[in-house]
Structure 1
Amino acid sequence: MTPPATIPQAPLTVAAVQAEPVPGDVAGNAVIAARLVDRAADEHARVAVLPELFLPAYHPPTLAADPVGTDVAAAEDRTVVDPRLAPLTAAAVAGGLTVVVGAAVRHPDGRRTISSLVVDRAGVIHVGYDKQQLWGDERELFSPGTRGATLLVDDWRLGLGICYDGCFPEHARAAATDDAHGYLCPSGYLAGSEHRRDLYYRARALDNTLYVVFANSVGGVDPWRFNGGAAVHDPQGRTLARGADDGEDVLVVTLDPAELAATRAAHSMLADRLPDQGATRLALVG
């Protein structure tokens, strides 16, 4: 395949957030999100990534009991207008940054999805991406998304994934094939999954020679207790910043286009991948 055609001209500063939302309190969690976005903006971030389902909180009993109260409604053009999110849109505008935040979205056709909202610098809210790989009991509450998405910020191309999507090498590879320079993955990893949490996203970075920005919730009560570890990984899978397993944090890192270019020159997996990698196989008898 042809390698990604362009490398960004300027660095991009991003923020990976870990925090504890309140189950069912979309308005209150939007206030928390706005405060965290303000922190990211104070450190000159241009993109802030918050955890999966942060607005309603990742708490399946609440999501099942109150779908009306925990969902945000999308219009036909995938925009969202919801007064509960006003503090968050104001923070994005005031800080001049793009926000990626997890939500439960109700679509005009009745589908309910785990989605990443993208709040742009003008304060417009878009449904940026719907999670394609649903995990476990999520399938009882939500419908899977049907396509990937790439977010354009300045001249950076950022693939969007959500949690379990990142466990599938093909998902981040699809972003890289779309010339992504980075992969943003809001997530909800539970306590006890620390090894997998840290390994998956470093692997996705190295597999595809791109930056990975991983956000995660913290706190909660078993079995819905989350383990933080928000992180930014470079295109060789090296961890540039990582949060603790508990406690709120905003990790701000500047993505370096020179490092991206050097890595892709030295490690050319994207260029060298065969179009039918492993599709034709020999059957051997030992």
Structure 2
Amino acid sequence: MSIEMTTPRVQDLDDVAAVLSGWQHDAGPLHLHPGDLGWHSSRGAARTAASLRAWSRNGRTLALGLLDGPDGLLRMALDPDLRDDEELCRQLVADVDDPSRGVLDAGAAIVEARGAERFSQLLSEEGWQPAEPWTPLHRDLSSGVDAERVRGAGVRVRIEVIDPDGADAWVAVHWSAFKGTPLGEEERREVRQRWLTMADGPFYHRARSLAAFDSDGNAVAVTTVWSAGPGRPGLVEPMGVHRDHRGLGYGVAISVAAASALREMGSSSALVCAESSNSAAVSTYVAAGFTAREQVADLQRGA
């Protein structure tokens, strides 16, 4: 039977997350994770389902892709047992590289397919080129997490689990960390609603949002962590420190807290991926006990 590509429905999202969870392994690549779907779900369950592509054969899911954002980014994971399957990899290339197939539009695009060496090789043969490198980081959780390190570089913080009543603090820090512009009331309402949509979505039962507060009660760092189930690696996505409080150890503190939360949720390890050019982020995770793995590069197609 031939390989079929479909777009999942909202009612399929639990099954998609379950399949992705089963593909997460400590020794495997940091490819598409259920947490990536969870973070994407701040756009709503319907839009998240519409952004997914699934490849299957004889009722078995072989590969999954998430169209992430407006810039032509396709984030993928393949069944670990089928990463070298020639028929699958050639079908993926045919679907991804041809705009008429309904995956990527014509023009500039990026494919993130970590660990899928044969698929990436075939894309390269079609003219796709390496993009900016990323650094995957891994923290083993089997031996526990030293709670004292939550204090970071000599600072004391209070870690809180954020619920909807505390979303404003989380939103303000996240905005500062990733936008860096003043947070107006309209932006605050919009981003808060997106956080609430995520928290009320189909994946958030796998998640926990945290905030770190300094000794004056200021929210200084935030993160959300995502479980793939007991005994499997969990994902840190996202993590950010307020711009007014950088360089004080709060990034280390919230990253250790993230690892601790994942261990409490049954995860075997904590995973995160940072742009290799962002040396401050990589250093922060390393200081929090993560080990940097070999750099990986996405593949890009020009306009």
Q: TM-score per shorter chain, which class? A: 0.3 to 0.5
Q: Normalising by the residue count of structure 1, what TM-score does the alignment of the two structures yield?
A: 0.32
Q: Which has the higher contact order (CA 8 A, sep 6+)?
A: 2
Q: Which has the higher helix share?
A: 2
**Greater C-alpha Rg:** 2
